[in-house]
Amino acid sequence: MGFWDVIAGRSRPKAPQLDSLFAVPSAAITLETTLGLRPTGSGSVCYRAASGQAFRQVQAEVVELLNADPDEPDVEVSQDEFGFSWLVVHGDPDDPAALCTDLHAVNTSLEEHEFGSGLLCSLIPFVGADGRRVGLVYLYKRGTFYCFAPQPGLGAGEKQRDNLLELQLRDTLAGELPMEQDLGRWLAIWGAPGL
């Protein structure tokens, strides 16, 4: 940070630490042994799609790269109700390392083509034996993770979070992943793929 940045009160955003995604497989073992939560095998990257041919070409190249293996399910691109794009990767629930490698590749490709400013988060969903789903969310611009646990069993249109479970997940993973300390940044991701 430069002198004028200090005087003006500006700060540089924290650089993304994409390699933190490679710590998720170890965290997945912890979640399974302590809370009975297993990876679903899917994961996604959320971004604000840029307009123009250059972005559409990069997105198509990323999808083509991930679809290159004929034995793997197709990658999907969807849009949520807020207009954000989700690139959803499907894989083997028993191989979270491969999933994290794919998510890392998506983030890196968009970053390398100067579209990093549109990256928002990556999501790795987990499921319990009772069907309960929770998400481990990587905040691209912060380089940190947080947990999102929708409250199960609510009526149509009702949206509530299980804050106690989210905090329990944070405490369980604190030694393994860089966890977001500012709870105000733990955004709800209603309708995210896989949750």
Where along the chain do its domains lie?
17-184
The percent of residues above 90 in pLDDT, for the chain, comes to 55
Q: Residue 72 above 80 pLDDT?
A: no
The H or E element spanning position 100 is helix 96-112
Residue type, 60: A
Q: Residue 155 above 80 pLDDT?
A: no
Residue type, 63: V
Specify the residue for token string 């939560």: 37
User: 156-176, pLDDT tens digit by residue?
Assistant: 567 899 999 999 999 999 999
pLDDT at residue 167 in the model = 96
Separation CA 135–CA 187 (nearest Å): 11
Q: Taking all residues of the chain, what is their mean pLDDT, rounded to a whole number?
A: 87
DSSP category for residue 177: S
Separation CA 36–CA 78 (nearest Å): 29
> If pLDDT is split at 50, 70 and 90, which confidence band does 26 have?
very high
In the predicted model, what is the mean pLDDT of residues 72-84?
82
Separation CA 166–CA 169 (nearest Å): 5
User: 131-147, pLDDT tens digit by residue?
Assistant: 999 999 999 999 999 99
Separation CA 127–CA 138 (nearest Å): 17
Separation CA 154–CA 65 (nearest Å): 39
Contact predicate 166/16, CB 8 Å = no
Question: Cα 62 vs. chain centroid, distance in angstroms?
Answer: 17
Backbone phi, psi, residue 13, to 5°: -65, 150
pLDDT at residue 172 in the model = 96
Separation CA 110–CA 116 (nearest Å): 6
pLDDT at residue 3 in the model = 56
Tell me the β-bridge partners of 148.
135
User: 8-20, pLDDT tens digit by residue?
Assistant: 665 555 556 788 9
User: 104-125, pLDDT tens digit by residue?
Assistant: 988 898 888 888 888 999 999 9
